Amino acid sequence: MVGCCFSCSLWFLLCLAALFIVSSESALNRYQFDVQVKNVSRLCHAKPIVTVNGRFPGPTIYAREGDRVVVNVTNYAQYNLSIHWHGLKQFRNGWADGPAYITQCPIQSGRSYVYDFNVTDQRGTLWWHAHILWLRATVHGAIVVMPKRGVPYPFPQPDAELNIVLGEWWHKDVEVIESQANSLGVPPSLSDAHTINGKPGPLFPCSEKHTYAMEVESNKTYMLRIISAALNDQLFFNIAGHNMTVVEIDAVYCRPFSTHALLLAPGQTTNVLVRTNQVPGRYFVAAKPFMDVPIPVDNKTATGILQYKGVPNSVVPSMPPLLSKNDVGFVKSFNDKLRSLNSPQFPANVPLQIDRHLFFTVGLGRDPCPTCLNGTRFIGAINNITFTLPTVALLQAHYSRISGVFTRDFPDRPPTVFNFTGAPLKANLGTKVGTRLSWIPFNSTVELVLQGTNLVGVESHPFHLHGYNFFIVGRGIGNFDPDKDPASFNLIDPPERNTIAVPTGGWTAIRFRANNPGVWFMHCHLEVHTTWGLSTAFLVENGDRPEDSLLPPPMDLPPC
Ligand SMILES: *[C@@H]1O[C@H](CO)[C@@H](O)[C@H](O)[C@H]1NC(C)=O
Ligand SMILES: *[C@@H]1O[C@H](CO)[C@@H](O)[C@H](O)[C@H]1NC(C)=O
Ligand SMILES: *[C@@H]1O[C@H](CO)[C@@H](O)[C@H](O)[C@H]1NC(C)=O
Ligand SMILES: *[C@@H]1O[C@H](CO)[C@@H](O)[C@H](O)[C@H]1NC(C)=O
Ligand SMILES: *[C@@H]1O[C@H](CO)[C@@H](O)[C@H](O)[C@H]1NC(C)=O
Ligand SMILES: *[C@@H]1O[C@H](CO)[C@@H](O)[C@H](O)[C@H]1NC(C)=O
Ligand SMILES: *[C@@H]1O[C@H](CO)[C@@H](O)[C@H](O)[C@H]1NC(C)=O
Ligand SMILES: *[C@@H]1O[C@H](CO)[C@@H](O)[C@H](O)[C@H]1NC(C)=O
Ligand SMILES: *[C@@H]1O[C@H](CO)[C@@H](O)[C@H](O)[C@H]1NC(C)=O
Ligand SMILES: *[C@@H]1O[C@H](CO)[C@@H](O)[C@H](O)[C@H]1NC(C)=O
Ligand SMILES: *[C@@H]1O[C@H](CO)[C@@H](O)[C@H](O)[C@H]1NC(C)=O
Ligand SMILES: [Cu+2]
C-alpha cells in the first residue's frame, strides 16, 4: 500500500519533471534581415523604399517565451540604420535594444550587426522597427512570442491567428520630407494614406491589388494580433458587423472585454478574439485617425476585407460605422475598460512603496532658428529640456565611462510651476537643449507623472519606455494634483504596457521597478515629436551582484 503510493507519487513527480523539462526547453530562432531598397507601388505611383528582405511590412519574428533570438541585420541601403525590438525588455542587454545613438551606433551601409537576445518572462504581440530618421515608416514587422510549450492562453484557444500591421504611406520619400521639414523648422507633410498590412484598400485609387483580405470560415474564433506601426497618427480600428474581445495589450494579458472598436497609438499592440458568427459575407475592416484638437491630420480611412470562405468577390462589402475623428467619449470609455488580468498566474505586481517621484512636463514649443522659415522651429521638451542625440551611443559612453557625452542630472521636476494646461502660451518661450539623463539607482520603484503642456497647443502624446513595462495607475484632464489625484490611483489591476497616450491637455501616472540596468530611451512615439526632441533617457545603475549588472557589449557592436 505504502509502496504503491510511493511509486505512484514518484511516477507523478517524474511526470512533473518531464513536463517541466518540455516546457522549459528553449529554442534558438535565427533570422537574416537584409535591409535593401525596393521599388514598391501604391496609390498609382511606384517609389523606392527601404525594406527588410524586400518585403513591406517586413518578415514576422516568431519565438516562444524563453527562446533566444538571433537576427543578423545586414545593411545594403544608403542610410545608416538600427533596429529596435519594441517592447522586448532586453534584460541586462541594452546592446540589443536598437535606438541609434542611445544603445548603439547605427549599422553603416555595407555592414552587419547581430542582435542576440533572450525573450524572458514575456509573451504576446510586439513588433520591430528601424530606430533612426524616419526609416521605420517602411522598415517594420511583427514579433509573435508564443507562450511556453504546453502553456495555454488564459482565454479559449482560437482556431487561427492573423497579424494585422497598421501603417502610414507617403507618395514622396519620407527621408526627403523629414529633412526638408527640419531645415525649415515646420511640421512635415501628412501621410497620403493609412495602410493595413501595407495596403491602403479600395477607398484609394489603383488599389485593386492593394487590398488586404483575410479569408475566414464561419463559426470559428480568430485571434487578430494588431500592431500600430503608424508614425504620427493614433488610429481607430473596427470591423463591420463584428465585435471584438480584447485579450492582450502590448504583450500583456488583460481582463477581457467586448468592444465594437479599438484605439491604438503608434507603438501599441492589441490582441482581439473575433467570432465569425455573422451571415457569410464580406465585411470591411477600417483604420482611421483619432485627433481631438484642430491639428491637421491624415484623415483618410484604410480598409481591408474580412471575407467568409465561399463568398464571391462580387459581393460589395459592408462598411463599419466610422467613429468621428474627435470621439473623446469612445476613447475615455475604451481606456476605462483596460485592466490587467491580475490572475494568480499573471499577477499585477504594481509597486506600492515609491522610492522616486518624478514629474515630467511633456509638450511642444518654439526655439529660435535663424535659418528657418519663420526664424523659429518647432521643438519638443520634457521639463523644458529639448533632447539632442549625441554622436557616441549613450550606453557605450556609460559602460566605457566616456565623459562629455551626457550628464546624469535630468531634473525630477520642471524648473517652473505654471498652469500647465491653461490658456495657450503663444509666446516663444525657448528651451534648454541637451543630452541629460535621469539617473536611477538599481531596483528603485519609480512613479512618473507625465503632464501635458499647452505651450504652443495641447495634443495627446503617446509615450514609449524602452527596457520596461509599466503600470498606468492614473490619468486625468487638466493639471495633476499631487494632494488629491493619488487617492484615485488604481493599484490593484491597472493596465500594464510599454506605450501610453497621455490625454490631450491632461496627465498620466505610471509606475515601474527599475530592475533592468542600462540606458533606456523614453520618448513620444509620434515620429514628428521624437525628431523635435520630445524624449529623454533613464540611466539605471547596476545592482551589487553580477547578475544585476549590464552584460558586456557584443564584439560586433557597430562603431561610430
Ligand atoms: C520604380 O518604378 C517606376 C515606375 O515603374 C520607374 O519609373 C522607376 O524607374 C523605378 N525605380 C527604380 C529605382 O527601379
Ligand atoms: C551576417 O550576414 C552577412 C551577409 O550575409 C554575412 O556576411 C555575415 O557573415 C553574417 N554574420 C554572421 C555573424 O553570421
Ligand atoms: C540568454 O540565455 C542564455 C541561457 O541562459 C545565456 O547563456 C545568455 O547569456 C543569455 N543572453 C543574453 C543576451 O542575455
Ligand atoms: C510663419 O509665420 C507666418 C506669418 O506670421 C504664419 O502665418 C505661419 O503660420 C508661420 N508658420 C509656421 C509654420 O509657424
Ligand atoms: C454557425 O452556427 C449557427 C448557430 O449555431 C448555425 O445556425 C449556422 O448554420 C452555422 N454556420 C455554419 C456555416 O456552420
Ligand atoms: C456588439 O456589442 C454591442 C454592445 O454589447 C451589441 O449591442 C451588439 O449587438 C453586438 N454586435 C454583434 C454583431 O454581436
Ligand atoms: C480631411 O482633411 C482635409 C484637409 O486637411 C479636409 O479638406 C477634409 O475636409 C477632411 N475630411 C474629413 C472627412 O474630415
Ligand atoms: C488653468 O487654466 C485653465 C484654463 O484657462 C483654468 O480653467 C484653470 O482655472 C487654471 N488653473 C489654475 C490653477 O489657475
Ligand atoms: C525654459 O528654458 C528657457 C531657457 O532657459 C527659459 O527662457 C524659459 O523661460 C523656460 N520655460 C519654462 C516654461 O520654464
Ligand atoms: C528588488 O527589491 C524587491 C523589494 O525590496 C526585492 O524583493 C527584490 O529581491 C529586489 N530585487 C533585486 C534583484 O535585488
Ligand atoms: C553613417 O555613420 C558614419 C559613422 O557614424 C558617419 O561617418 C556617416 O556620415 C554616416 N552616413 C550617413 C549617410 O549619415
Ligand atoms: Cu508627441
pLDDT, tens digit, 9 for 90 and up, residues 232-260: 999 999 999 999 999 999 999 999 999 99
Nearest atom in ligand 4 to 374's CA: 1
Q: Whose CA is nearest to atom 3 of ligand 8?
A: 422
CATH architecture of 8-87+122-337: Sandwich (2.60)
Domain boundaries of the chain, sorted by first residue = 8-87+122-337, 356-548
Nearest Cα neighbor of 535 from 328, 327, 394 is 394
Phi, psi of 453 (to 5 degrees): -125, 165
Q: What is the pTM of this model?
A: 0.94
On whether the CB atoms of residues 239 and 97 are closer than 8 A, the answer is no
217 CA closest ligand 5 atom index: 13
| Residue 208 scores a pLDDT above 90 | no
pLDDT higher than threshold 60 for residue 19: no
pLDDT tens for each residue of 394-444: 999 999 999 999 999 999 999 999 999 998 776 667 999 999 999 999 999
Residue among 290, 282, 291, 289 at smallest CA distance from 320: 282
Query: Is pLDDT at 337 greater than 70 in this prediction?
Result: yes
Residue 280: beta bridge partners?
none
pLDDT at 22 over 50: no
CATH architecture of 356-548: Sandwich (2.60)
Average pLDDT, the chain: 94
57 and 16 Cβ atoms separated by less than 8 Å: no
User: Who surrounds ion ligand 12 at CB < 5 A?
Assistant: 461, 524, 526, 529
* 8 Å CB contact between 511 and 493: no
pLDDT tens for each residue of 113-169: 999 999 999 999 999 999 999 999 999 999 999 999 999 999 999 999 999 999 999
What is the pLDDT at residue 24?
A: 59
Which grid coordinates belong to 474?
Answer: 492614473
462-506 pLDDT, tens digit per residue, is 999 999 999 999 999 999 999 999 999 999 999 999 999 999 999
For ligand 3, atom 6, which residue shows the shortest CA distance?
118
Distance separating alpha carbons of residues 496 and 242, to the nearest angstrom:
26
- Pocket of ligand 1 contains residue 46 by CB under 6 Å: yes
Pocket lined around ligand 6, Cβ cut-off 6 Å: 241-243, 258, 260
Residue 374 alpha carbon to ligand 4 centre in Å:
6
Q: Which three cell numbers stand for residue 508?
A: 498620466
How many of the other CB atoms lie within 10 Å of CB of 111?
16
Q: What whole-number distance in Å separates Cα of residue 170 and Cα of residue 84?
A: 22
Per-residue model confidence (pLDDT) at position 493: 98
Q: Is the beta carbon of 116 within 6 A of some atom in ligand 3?
A: yes
Residue 292 pLDDT exceeds 60 = yes
Would you state the pLDDT for residue 2? Answer: 35
8-87+122-337 matches 356-548 in fold:
yes
In this structure, the dihedral spanned by the alpha carbons of residues 143, 527, 56 and 160, taken in order and rounded to 10 degrees, is 40
Query: Residue of the nearest CA to atom 2 in ligand 4?
Result: 374
